[in-house]
């Protein structure tokens, strides 16, 4: 059941993005940015927590879940550290992901070369 | 002349609208749903394995993101993620693996411009805006939460 919920939740989130891609002139990069901002704000409003508790990885694996991690992180840090937490919480909570992306991205760029486009 | 020009533009827009296939939307959505959903199921499997190994919820989610980013980078390097992207559209862009894909694809593409201004700078062409706007939103949420929440 957990896997089914993850599948449905993740599927719906990707389908909404697909509709935006096909029906509006929004470029994928803008949709991804929109999703992150939306995820952060919905988490700030206390709404995305419901999506996460229902969908599990279906809610956290899509890029909107990156916004969720930012929002959760910043609120936890404000609870602990006060106003300074507003400046440290977001990146603290997502530091592992950002570091992994930079490290693996860099390694992949060293190891692999661009293939000529078919 | 001007009016005929704008008429031509209208005609052209109509032509584009007619030739851009609308029924494709449905099939695109099905593909995005299935592939996006499947990547999330993979994430859930990894989370559950990690929880079974006694990682707490937050660490499990964090390691899962890192592992998916690793997979996204690897499959981009092997030139397989692009094929998936052509098939799945948003289904491959929206999951965190797509975030890794955007970094690796631009890094490899601009490798010829060198390791500093090529790889180092261009790897953030798409990931950069995500981090910029994500961080700013988190500060906004944090400040509002400090004054009005909790």
Q: Tell me how far apart the alpha carbons of residues B110 and B123 are, in angstroms, rounded to a whole number.
A: 8
Q: Considering CB atoms only, which of B36, B134, B143 is closest to A13?
A: B36
Test mutation, B134, B140, B148, chain A, max A CBs within 10 A = B134
Is B10 part of any domain?
A: no
SS3 at position A21 = helix
Closest CA to A14 of B81, B42, B33, B34: B33
Is B11 part of any domain?
A: no
Q: Does A66 touch chain B (CB under 8 A)?
A: yes
Residue A17 · residue B32 · CB < 8 Å:
yes
Is B98 part of any domain?
A: yes
Q: Taking the CB of residue B15, how many other CB atoms lie within 10 A of it? A: 10
Residue A21 · residue B54 · CB < 8 Å:
no
CA distance B77 to chain A (A): 6
CA distance B103 to chain A (A): 6
- Tokens 């509709």: give the residue: A19
Is B79 part of any domain?
A: yes
Tens of pLDDT along A12-47? 999 999 999 999 988 899 999 999 999 999 999 999
How many angstroms from the chain centroid is the CA of residue B131?
Answer: 13
Give the C-alpha distances (Å, rounded to integers) separating A106 from A79, A100, B29, B67: 35, 10, 32, 15
Give residue B131's domain range.
26-148
- pTM for this predicted structure: 0.88
Is B17 part of any domain?
A: no
Domains in chain B, number: 1
Q: Tell me how far apart the alpha carbons of residues B119 and B109 are, in angstroms, rounded to a whole number.
A: 8
Test mutation, A53, A105, A110, chain B, max B CBs within 10 A = A105
Residue A57 · residue B41 · CB < 8 Å:
yes
CA dihedral sign, ordered B42, A65, B30, A115: negative
Tens of pLDDT along A70-118? 999 999 999 999 999 999 999 999 999 999 999 999 999 999 987 765 5
| Confidence grade of residue A51 (pLDDT, cut at 50, 70, 90) | very high
Is B80 part of any domain?
A: yes
Which H, E and C letters describe A75-112, residue by residue?
HHHHHHHHHHHHHHHHHHHHHHHHHHHHHHHHHHHHHC
B49: which 2 tokens? 């394995």
Interface size, chain A vs chain B, as Cβ–Cβ contacts under 8 Å: 272
pLDDT at B31: 96
Subunit contact B95:A63, Cβ cutoff 8 A: yes
Is B3 part of any domain?
A: no
Subunit contact A6:B44, Cβ cutoff 8 A: yes
Subunit contact B142:A102, Cβ cutoff 8 A: no
List the pLDDT tens digit at each of the 150 positions of chain B. Answer: 445 666 777 776 766 666 655 668 999 999 999 999 999 999 999 999 999 999 998 899 999 999 999 999 999 999 999 999 999 999 999 999 999 999 999 999 999 999 999 999 999 999 999 999 999 999 999 999 999 976
Q: Considering CB atoms only, which of A15, A40, A64 is closest to B29?
A: A15
Q: Considering CB atoms only, which of B39, B76, B134 is closest to A108?
A: B76
A106: which 2 tokens? 């860099």
Is B120 part of any domain?
A: yes
> What DSSP string runs through B30-89?
HHHHHHHHHHHHHHHHHHHHHHHTT--HHHHHHHHHHHHHHHHHHHHHTT-HHHHHHHHT
Residue A57 · residue B44 · CB < 8 Å:
yes
pLDDT at B10: 72
Q: What are the residue ranges spanned by the domains of chain A? A: 2-111
CA dihedral A39, A54, B58, A3 (to 10 degrees): -120
């Amino acid at each position: 059941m957990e896997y089914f919920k993850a599948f449905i939740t993740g599927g719906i989130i990707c389908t909404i993005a697909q509709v935006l891609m096909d029906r509006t002139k929004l470029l994928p990069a803008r949709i991804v940015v929109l999703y992150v901002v939306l995820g952060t704000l919905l988490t700030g409003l206390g709404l995305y927590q419901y999506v996460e508790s229902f969908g599990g990885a279906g809610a956290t694996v899509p890029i909107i879940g990156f916004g969720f991690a930012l929002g959760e992180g910043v609120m936890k840090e404000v609870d602990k550290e006060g106003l300074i937490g507003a400046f440290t919480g977001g990146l603290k909570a997502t530091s592992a992901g950002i570091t992994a992306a930079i490290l693996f991205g860099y390694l992949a760029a060293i190891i692999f070369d661009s293939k000529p486009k078919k | 002349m001007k009016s005929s020009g704008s008429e031509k533009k209208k005609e052209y827009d109509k032509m584009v609208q007619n030739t851009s296939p609308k029924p494709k939307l449905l099939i695109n959505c099905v593909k995005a749903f299935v592939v996006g959903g499947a990547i999330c199921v993979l994430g859930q499997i990894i989370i559950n394995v990690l929880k079974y190994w006694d990682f707490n919820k937050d660490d499990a989610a964090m390691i899962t993101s890192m592992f998916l980013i690793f997979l996204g980078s690897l499959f981009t390097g092997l030139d397989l993620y692009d094929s998936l992207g052509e098939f799945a559209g948003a289904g491959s862009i929206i999951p965190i693996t797509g975030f890794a894909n955007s970094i690796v694809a631009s890094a490899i593409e601009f490798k010829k411009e060198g390791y500093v201004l090529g790889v180092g700078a261009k790897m953030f062409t798409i990931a950069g805006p995500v981090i910029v706007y994500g961080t700013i939103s988190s500060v906004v949420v944090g400040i509002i939460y400090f004054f009005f929440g909790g």
